[in-house]
């Protein structure tokens, strides 16, 4: 009962709005949730990142189950990504713990990294087709060993980025995988990326819990709004063209990213 009394309606409404955006576009959860908490509500960056990581991990479990049931996950790719992201996330969290999650240095480091990640995400959303065409010729001649090493390196980069900012596993990860595995159906790329995001976000979220940067009432308030928000938007998604929402989302991320990186 005490926990219910700590639920904040404003956080719940924010979770509802972000959940609906994710349902409409498939991206935007971590990209907007963390900066919203930091800039609008004044939540400490480490606390915002920790809450968003566990939020993402819990909400993507069901998505992984559905993709797995439909055979839309390439577990080879997921394992390669995890081989890089798991140790990278662990080392990053150790570094954050050493800095002190509530220190001024950690706060500045997190907000700067978050701003950079949002700008990169915005670019990948707008220029994904151009980026894929640009690198297609260079990557198609790579052998399996080189692709495997690049996938592990991608996982390591995502492990660092997600652990610090909670951003990167979606738009950035999918775009990079489309470059590395152009012959694989897009649905399998998305499914593999979601499957990898679950252990990554849960490991990183558990690390933030361990160093003391999780606000459980905040997390509960967000989930209370985001879960029905995703369900509602998923039903209405076909009525609003993605070509309308995606540029708006990218522009918002670019503005917020620039504000945080400055």
Q: Between these two residues, 242 and 199, which has the higher pLDDT value?
A: 199
Token pair belonging to 256: 């917020």
Contact 203, 90 (CB under 8 A): yes
Mean predicted confidence (pLDDT) in 151-169: 87
Mean predicted confidence (pLDDT) in 17-44: 73
pLDDT(150) > 90: yes
Examine residue 223 and state whether it is found in any structural domain, yes or no. yes
Mean predicted confidence (pLDDT) in 41-48: 83
Token pair belonging to 202: 């849960």
Contacts with 205 (C-beta within 8 Å, 6 or more apart), sequence order: 50, 53, 54, 56, 57, 214
**255 pLDDT band (50/70/90 cuts)?**
low
CA angle, 164 then 170 then 176, to 5°: 100
> What is the signed CA dihedral for 17, 21, 24, 25, rounded to 10 degrees?
180
**156 pLDDT band (50/70/90 cuts)?**
very high
Examine residue 210 and state whether it is found in any structural domain, yes or no. yes
Examine residue 2 and state whether it is found in any structural domain, yes or no. no
Q: Cα 176 to chain center, whole Å?
A: 14
Q: What pLDDT score does 153 carry?
A: 95
What pTM value is reported for the model?
Answer: 0.78
**Of how many residues is the chain composed?**
262
Which tens digits make up the pLDDT trace of 47-104? Answer: 888 888 887 777 777 667 777 787 878 999 999 999 999 999 999 888 887 877 666 7
Q: Between these two residues, 243 and 152, which has the higher pLDDT value?
A: 152
Q: What pLDDT score does 4 carry?
A: 59
Q: What pLDDT score does 1 carry?
A: 47
Structurally, the chain folds into a number of domains equal to: 1
CA distance 194 to 64: 6
Q: Whole domain around residue 246: which residue ranges? A: 7-261
Q: What pLDDT score does 210 carry?
A: 81
Give the phi and the psi of residue 100 in degrees, each rounded to 5: 95, 110
**249 pLDDT band (50/70/90 cuts)?**
low
What is the pLDDT of the chain when averaged over all its residues? 78
Examine residue 145 and state whether it is found in any structural domain, yes or no. yes
Q: What pLDDT score does 112 carry?
A: 83
Greatest CA separation for the chain:
60
Mean predicted confidence (pLDDT) in 112-119: 81
Q: What pLDDT score does 94 carry?
A: 87
Token pair belonging to 64: 């992984």
Q: What pLDDT score does 103 carry?
A: 67
Q: What pLDDT score does 101 carry?
A: 60
- Nearest CA to 118 out of 25, 233, 27 is that of 27
Which tens digits make up the pLDDT trace of 171-226? Answer: 788 888 888 888 888 778 878 888 888 888 888 888 888 877 778 888 888 888 87
Proportion of the chain above pLDDT 70, given as a percent? 78
Examine residue 1 and state whether it is found in any structural domain, yes or no. no
Examine residue 35 and state whether it is found in any structural domain, yes or no. yes
Helices (H), the chain: 2-5, 9-25, 29-35, 45-69, 75-99, 104-139, 144-165, 171-180, 186-210, 216-236, 242-261
């Amino acid at each position: 009962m005490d926990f219910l009394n700590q639920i904040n309606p404003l956080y719940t409404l924010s979770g509802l709005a972000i959940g609906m955006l994710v349902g409409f576009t498939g991206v935007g959860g971590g990209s907007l949730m963390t900066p919203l908490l930091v800039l609008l509500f004044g939540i400490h960056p480490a606390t915002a990142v920790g809450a968003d990581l566990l939020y993402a991990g819990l909400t993507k479990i069901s998505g992984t189950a559905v993709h797995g049931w439909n055979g839309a996950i390439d577990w080879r790719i997921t394992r390669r990504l995890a081989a890089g992201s798991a140790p990278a996330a662990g080392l990053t969290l150790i570094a954050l713990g050493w800095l002190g999650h509530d220190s001024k240095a950690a706060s500045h480091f997190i907000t700067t990294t978050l701003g950079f990640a949002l700008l990169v995400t915005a670019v990948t959303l707008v220029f994904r087709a151009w980026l894929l065409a640009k690198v297609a010729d260079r990557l198609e001649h790579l052998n399996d060993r080189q692709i495997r090493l690049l996938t592990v390196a991608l996982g390591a980069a995502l492990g660092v980025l997600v652990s610090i900012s909670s951003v990167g596993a979606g738009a950035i990860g999918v775009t990079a995988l489309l470059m590395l595995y152009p012959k694989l159906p897009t649905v399998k790329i998305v499914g593999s990326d979601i499957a990898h995001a679950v252990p990554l976000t849960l490991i990183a979220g558990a690390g933030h819990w361990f160093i003391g940067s999780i606000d459980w009432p905040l997390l509960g308030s967000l989930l209370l709004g985001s879960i029905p928000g995703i369900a509602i938007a998923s039903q209405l998604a076909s009525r609003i063209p993605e070509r309308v929402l995606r540029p708006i989302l990218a522009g918002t991320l670019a503005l917020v990213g620039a504000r945080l990186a400055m």
